[in-house]
Amino acid sequence: QVQLVESGGGLVQAGASLRLSCTYSGRAFSSHAMAWFRQAPGKEREFVSAISWTDSSQRYADSVKGRFTISRDNAQNTVNLQMTSLKPEDTAVYYCAAKYLGGLGSSTTSYDYWGQGTQVTVSS
């Protein structure tokens, strides 16, 4: 059984940085594509970034490209999201997601496992 637990969220001012972490419990972490999504109040869950299980290639939403960096540590079973130059519009609950042998999908249906989320609030 796969479990994902996010951490690292918080309240920051615009322009600040935050580092989110997702800890994976279960088998074969290194064979799972991992991703981050976010959901703001009243909006649908949207794709932020994904990292492959094969060569750690990455994909980013246009809205975060150049500001966010996704990485994974297969020895620690973690995936991280380094967020810089945060903007108020980045305010959302951030979710970690996983898919066994998955690709770099940007749809919520591309992933089978989800964490409970961590709140990120960026004040102006």
Helix, strand and coil in the chain, % to nearest 5: 5, 50, 40
Q: Is 45 helix (H, G, I), strand (E, B) or coil?
A: coil
pLDDT at res. 115: 98
Per-residue pLDDT band for 55 (boundaries 50, 70, 90) equals confident
Across 20-42, average pLDDT: 97
Mean of the per-residue pLDDT values for the chain?
97
- Give residue 101's pLDDT: 95
* CB distance 92 to 22 below 8 Å: no
* Alpha-carbon dihedral sign for residues 29, 31, 32, 33: positive
Q: Distance between CA 84 and CA 72 in Å, rounded? A: 18
Which whole number is the average pLDDT over 4-22?
Answer: 98
Query: Are the CB atoms for 88 and 124 separated by under 8 Å?
Result: yes
- Number of helices followed by number of strands (H, E) in the chain: 0, 11
**81-118 pLDDT, tens per residue?**
999 999 999 999 999 999 999 999 999 999 999 999 99
- The closest of 69, 92, 94, 66 to 82, measured between CA atoms, is 69
Please tell me the predicted confidence (pLDDT) of residue 103.
93
Is 56 a residue whose pLDDT tops 90? no
pLDDT band at 26 (very low <50, low <70, confident <90, very high): very high
